[in-house]
Amino acid sequence: MTDELLVVRAQLGDRTALAEMVARWRVPVWRYVQRMLDADRADDVSQEIWLAVVRGLPRLREPTRFAPWLFAIARRSVVDRLRTEYAAAPETPVRDDRCVEDLSETVVARAELVGALTSLPVLEREILVLHYLEDLSVQDCAHICRVPVGTVKSRLNRARRLLREHLSEKGYQS
């Protein structure tokens, strides 16, 4: 069954379709959150995302655009979580004297330990996750991140370059 048919049936109030939708998209959504935050927070944030999805589903006008709509909600939940934690950050001791200028730098500082992907700044990491790991088109990424297509392309270029540099530093050769 296509996603569109699943969404249309769920919008009509079919609980089986809703259950199937959750079963189909639960892991991709969780994986996205896990890559943007971490596994510990992914379950909690995923639950918030599905709550927002269920509440917003009757208002979704284009069932064909379900995936971008779903990831736009996921992104909003991740950003809300980061914003909340960022607001609480001054109360926790900082580990170095570096001046933290924005949210993405904070996230990168926290995620440095996790590996190649999580070493990227959050904006670039997000685009890589959506485009390469979730197979979403450049247009869909632009819709989800609310930026022009050109910005998505430039972030993709930058993300690829940063990833290449990071892997080269670790001794990998392209």
Partner 1 sequence: MTDEPGLSAREMLDRLDTTLSRGTRIRAVAALLAGLAGAVFVTSLWWSEPGPLPDRTHLSFTLLTVFCLAWAGYGGWLLTRRVPLFATEQVVAAGIALAASVGTTGITVVAAARSGTGPGPALAVGGLFIAAAATLAVRARARRAALLRRMRQLTRQEGP
Does residue number 19 form part of the binding site for partner 1 (CB under 8 A)?
yes
Among 32, 36, 45, 63, binds partner 1 (CB under 8 A): 63
**Candidates 28-36, 103-111, 138-146, 161-169 — which segment interacts with partner 1 by CB under 8 A?**
28-36
Does residue number 88 form part of the binding site for partner 1 (CB under 8 A)?
no
Does residue number 133 form part of the binding site for partner 1 (CB under 8 A)?
no
- Name the nearest CA neighbour of 137 among 84, 85, 65: 65
Chain-centre distance of CA 29, in angstroms? 8
Does residue number 111 form part of the binding site for partner 1 (CB under 8 A)?
no
**Candidates 34-42, 83-91, 126-134, 137-145 — which segment interacts with partner 1 by CB under 8 A?**
34-42
Among 58, 80, 84, 148, binds partner 1 (CB under 8 A): 58
Does residue number 131 form part of the binding site for partner 1 (CB under 8 A)?
no
- Name the nearest CA neighbour of 80 among 117, 29, 116, 41: 41
CB-facing half-sphere around the CA of 41: CA atoms within 13 A:
15
Does residue number 84 form part of the binding site for partner 1 (CB under 8 A)?
no
Does residue number 5 form part of the binding site for partner 1 (CB under 8 A)?
yes
- Using only C-alpha atoms, what is the Rg of the chain? 18
Chain-centre distance of CA 19, in angstroms? 22
Positions that interact with partner 1 (CB under 8 A): 1-2, 4-5, 8-13, 15, 18-19, 22-23, 26-27, 30-31, 34, 38-39, 42-43, 46-47, 50-51, 54-58, 63, 114
